[in-house]
Amino acid sequence: MTSPVFISYNEVKNILTSSMIKESVEEAFKSVVVSKGNNQDHPYAYQCPRIRTSSHNVNGILLTMPGCISNHKVTLPNGERKTFETLACKLITRSPKNNQLTPQLPNVLANILLFDEQTGQLKCVMDGKYITVWRTVAASLVATKFLYFGRKNVNASNGVTLAIVGCGVQGESHALEMFRVFSTIRECVSNADIIVTCTRTVEPILHLNMLKKDVHINAVGAAPGGKHYCELGQDIYDIAPVYVDSLNGAKTDLADLKTNIVCAVGEVILGVGKCPEKGISVFQSLGMAVEDAAVAQAVFQYRKNKQTKSRL
């Protein structure tokens, strides 16, 4: 048996590109709405709801996110697109006192395990923190592409206004360019066409009377307990169609949310679901194991391809 390779945070960061992440996430979105054998042109997937295990000694948690995505495409450095089956599991630990250590550690750590799809042998351990951040950004970008820019009445030639609420890692990562910082959330979102919320609030910070009539919202943040729908007021959920990355995930993570969940974004991508023609729309971002799996496979294959070239 060969030992698994380890791919560090810095190596992942040096390999990943925007196009690589967006391609992988779009493949993952499609995979969760396609059944095996129904369409050989599209990826299909199986994933369990995330499993939460408490760690009593450090008051932390371990989140386990296993998933398998088959028939998905990866674009290699030479431009060739190859099809893969990927079996992976992301492990996330949250230890609230890590930032008090000397030297400090992040409170949230992530690792992705990749397995050989034929034998089940562990082939790679990959630092997953960078992937977690940027696959979440990519999910918002892909959702916005199909749910906002897919509307017939949207004319982006004069530009659109983006508002980002939250200035943590996700907020900073979503902000490709920042021109102005507002003192209140109402000022920030009042003229926005697209809004991203990336906070850990336990109370709603956006309400219907703050928003333009045709705005798309990517709700990314989660409260400290893991609740995914604290950022938006119920008055928004009462009138806005809600789209998710995974309907199965929504059954668990959004079980108590009173709203109209229309479909998964993957259904819109594949043309079997409709994007809203106008009005407010919401992408409730939950995060999926197969997103991490698809991105990790792309990183692994890029590294493998590069090493093969260097030996020739």
What was the pLDDT predicted at 88?
98
Q: What angle, rounded to 10 degrees, do the helices at 18-31 and 129-147 form?
A: 70
Q: What angle, rounded to 10 degrees, do the helices at 289-311 and 129-147 form?
A: 120
Radius of gyration of the chain (CA): 20
The domains of the chain, with CATH numbers, are 5-133+290-311 (3.30.1780.10), 135-288 (3.40.50.720)
Least confident range of 79-93, 171-185, 223-237, 298-312: 171-185
- At 188, the pLDDT band (50, 70, 90 cuts) reads confident
What was the pLDDT predicted at 298?
96
Q: What is the pLDDT of residues 118-159, one digit of tens each?
A: 999 999 999 999 999 999 999 999 999 999 999 988 887 778
Q: What is the pLDDT of residues 56-81, one digit of tens each?
A: 777 789 999 999 999 999 998 888 89
Angle, CA of 19, 21 and 27, to the nearest 5°: 100
